[in-house]
């Protein structure tokens, strides 16, 4: 037995010796002289992989960076966009930082650039109806702006401008080589744009967006350089601080494992790169009278101007909005539907309804249109599609007095009965405004009289006297009154006077 054990030890020691020898051989073959990592990396396969990796110099490097001095919310999940709470009317600093490397964008070195800061909607649905939403806000808060610059606190900005037709944007020039900080104030709160207000509803998120431009060859700041934005919510004064505290307390109650799913709160908000905002200032200027709520007399007058195209005296829509003069037909093509929207002052919705036929648009219910376009324009579009015209405030029947023997002429204010063989034909004019200028304008429209040639409108009174037609007189006209009228040349020979009888 002892002999057997001894033989096992001999065999085992021999195997160990042979194994060590084999390992030593491997070490000799893979020694420093035979193995080089640089030679391996020089193989073609590694060269191809290496060339496909982007170099640091080739990575996109934004020329600017914008940092808003407001803390981000701690209740935002990882990989989600940051959310920052702001107080209404409080000034917040946005630092405009030059982020260029040596040699980047050399054409702006030593020159000024223009930046436009906007507060816009985050939700795509509200972006489609942005102009209507802002017009409604403007009506409820006349004279206020959604966004302002706190110029006394700002540093390094010059030539600041605010467009009265764009209440949510400010612009200024600044030198990237100098320290620049723009202090902004947001005056709208997130709950002002919620569809239902029963209390406790969540406010809609906004975006603060900065677009920067350089000068073109004509000296105009139109060449886009950089854009960045961040998501915000705006609360009443002190509300943002309370919301931030509530979010922080909620996070403290979560377990360590749950906290790993959320971003930490940062003291400042870095705006992330985005596409430039589609800046169409002409759309604001051209469409503002048509989309504004028609609650005041000047806006109503501006809205009724298009009816000058219907010059026929027999046209019953002379005093009614042109939206009802041409009804959208179910057979209308996409192009005809777009033209109908433009003609009826719905230009801001042409992109939204860009693929709609007439039948598609007519199938939408009132609730659908209110949800898509908002309450004001949704109802207006529904009424236009159904050809629901506005009832005029005053209807007058007028007839132009024809040259005839004195005995055949009507008495002043006669009801329209004629003893002559040729009957008097009266035309209806409809007044949406109870003012004298509206009477003159509608008379000029119906009877093809150049409006600029009408000097005064008189009413023939007792004993044939001529009484100047004033706004107060028009307001006291009885509905469906009948008038004959004649024209006489003005004393100076420039224009005519109209005399109602």
Rounded to an integer, the average pLDDT of 464-477 is 87
Which pLDDT score, from 0 to 100, does residue 9 have? 58
Which pLDDT score, from 0 to 100, does residue 102 have? 80
Q: What is the pLDDT confidence band of residue 376, given thresholds at 50, 70 and 90? A: confident
How far is it, in rounded angstroms, from Cα 249 to Cα 78? Answer: 18
Which pLDDT score, from 0 to 100, does residue 118 have? 92
Which pLDDT score, from 0 to 100, does residue 30 have? 44
The total of other beta-carbon atoms located within 10 Å of residue 324's CB is 17
Which pLDDT score, from 0 to 100, does residue 113 have? 92
Which pLDDT score, from 0 to 100, does residue 130 have? 74
More confident residue, 177 or 47: 177
Instruction: Answer whether residue 246 shows pLDDT above 80.
Output: yes
Instruction: Answer whether residue 92 shows pLDDT above 90.
Output: yes
Secondary structure (DSSP) of 261-313:
TBPPPPSSEEPEE-PPP---HHHHHHHHHHHS---SHHHHHHHTGGGGG---T
Q: What is the pLDDT confidence band of residue 40, given thresholds at 50, 70 and 90? A: very low
Rounded to an integer, the average pLDDT of 74-87 is 90
Q: Of 23-32, 314-323, 358-367, where does the model show the most confidence?
A: 358-367
Rounded to an integer, the average pLDDT of 77-98 is 91
Pairing of strands 180-186, 91-98: antiparallel
Which pLDDT score, from 0 to 100, does residue 195 have? 65
Rounded to an integer, the average pLDDT of 349-354 is 82
Instruction: Answer whether residue 317 shows pLDDT above 50.
Output: no
Decide if 399 contacts 484 (C-beta within 8 A): yes
Span between the terminal Cα atoms of the chain, in Å: 149
Instruction: Answer whether residue 345 shows pLDDT above 70.
Output: yes
Rounded to an integer, the average pLDDT of 292-316 is 34
Q: What is the pLDDT confidence band of residue 20, given thresholds at 50, 70 and 90? A: low
Rounded to an integer, the average pLDDT of 12-17 is 56
More confident residue, 40 or 452: 452
> Within 13 Å and on the Cβ side, how many CA atoms surround 414?
16
Which pLDDT score, from 0 to 100, does residue 71 have? 92
* Greatest C-alpha distance within the chain: 163
Which pLDDT score, from 0 to 100, does residue 14 have? 58
Secondary structure (DSSP) of 138-176:
HHHSTT--SEEE-TTT-BSEEEEE--TT-TTEEEEEE-T
Closest to 454 (Cα-Cα) out of 466, 476, 436: 436
Instruction: Answer whether residue 468 shows pLDDT above 50.
Output: yes
Q: Note the pLDDT tens digit of each residue in 258-299.
A: 888 898 889 999 999 988 887 543 333 333 333 333 323 333
Which pLDDT score, from 0 to 100, does residue 285 have? 34
Tokens of 139: 């009506």
Instruction: Answer whether residue 459 shows pLDDT above 50.
Output: yes
Q: Of 12-16, 93-97, 124-128, where does the model show the most confidence?
A: 93-97
Decide if 61 contacts 104 (C-beta within 8 A): yes
Q: Note the pLDDT tens digit of each residue in 176-201.
A: 989 999 999 999 888 887 766 555 56
Which pLDDT score, from 0 to 100, does residue 355 have? 82
Tokens of 322: 């042109």
Instruction: Answer whether residue 36 shows pLDDT above 80.
Output: no
Q: Over pLDDT 70: what percentage of the chain?
A: 72
Q: Note the pLDDT tens digit of each residue in 119-156.
A: 988 877 677 767 777 777 877 787 888 899 998 999 99
Name the least confident of 142-146, 349-353, 386-390, 473-477. 386-390
Which pLDDT score, from 0 to 100, does residue 72 have? 92
- Using only the alpha carbons of the chain, give its radius of gyration: 38
More confident residue, 453 or 206: 206
Name the least confident of 158-172, 278-292, 348-362. 278-292
């Amino acid at each position: 037995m002892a002999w057997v054990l001894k033989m096992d030890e001999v065999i085992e020691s021999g195997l160990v010796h042979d194994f060590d020898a084999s390992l030593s051989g491997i070490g000799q073959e893979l020694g420093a002289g035979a193995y080089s990592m640089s030679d391996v990396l020089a193989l073609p396969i590694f060269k191809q992989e290496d060339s496909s990796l982007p170099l640091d110099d080739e990575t996109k490097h934004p020329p600017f960076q914008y940092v808003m001095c407001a803390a981000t919310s701690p209740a935002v999940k990882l990989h989600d966009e940051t959310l920052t709470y702001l107080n209404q009317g409080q000034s917040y600093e946005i630092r405009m930082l030059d982020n260029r490397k040596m040699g980047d964008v050399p054409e702006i070195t030593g020159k000024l650039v223009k930046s436009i800061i906007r507060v816009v909607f985050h939700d795509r649905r509200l972006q489609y109806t942005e102009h209507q939403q802002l017009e409604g806000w403007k009506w409820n808060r006349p004279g206020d702006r959604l966004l302002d610059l706190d110029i006394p606190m700002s540093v390094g900005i010059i030539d600041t401008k605010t467009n009265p037709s764009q209440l949510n944007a400010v612009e200024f020039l600044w030198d990237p080589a100098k320290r620049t900080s723009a202090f902004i104030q947001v005056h709208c709160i997130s709950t002002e744009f919620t569809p239902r207000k029963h209390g406790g509803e969540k406010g809609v998120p906004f975006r603060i967006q900065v677009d920067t431009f350089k000068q073109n060859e004509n000296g105009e700041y139109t060449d886009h350089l950089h854009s960045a934005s961040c998501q915000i919510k705006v609360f009443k004064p002190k509300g943002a601080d309370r919301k931030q505290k509530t979010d922080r307390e909620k996070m403290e109650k979560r377990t360590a494992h749950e906290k790993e799913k959320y971003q930490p709160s940062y003291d400042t908000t870095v705006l992330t790169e985005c596409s430039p905002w589609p800046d169409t200032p002409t759309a604001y200027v051209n469409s503002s009278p048509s989309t504004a709520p028609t609650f005041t007399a000047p806006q109503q007058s501006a809205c009724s101007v298009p009816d000058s195209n219907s010059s026929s005296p027999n046209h019953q829509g002379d005093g009614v909005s042109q939206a009802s003069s041409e009804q959208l037909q179910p057979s209308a093509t996409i192009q005809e539907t777009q033209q109908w929207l433009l003609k009826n002052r719905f230009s801001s919705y042409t992109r939204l309804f860009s693929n709609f036929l007439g039948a598609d648009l007519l199938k939408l219910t009132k609730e659908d249109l209110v949800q898509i376009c908002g309450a004001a324009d949704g109802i207006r579009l529904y009424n236009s599609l159904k050809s629901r015209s506005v009832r005029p405030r005053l209807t007058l029947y007028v007839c132009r007095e024809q040259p005839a023997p004195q005995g055949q002429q009507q008495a002043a204010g006669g009801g329209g009965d004629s003893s002559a063989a040729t009957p008097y034909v009266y035309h209806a004019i409809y007044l949406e405004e109870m003012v004298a200028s509206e009477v003159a304008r509608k008379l000029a429209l119906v009877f093809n009289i150049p409006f600029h040639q009408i000097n005064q409108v008189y009413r023939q009174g007792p004993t044939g006297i001529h009484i100047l037609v004033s706004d107060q007189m028009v307001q006291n006209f009885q509905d469906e009154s009948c008038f004959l009228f004649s024209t006489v040349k003005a004393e100076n020979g420039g224009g005519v006077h109209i005399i109602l009888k």
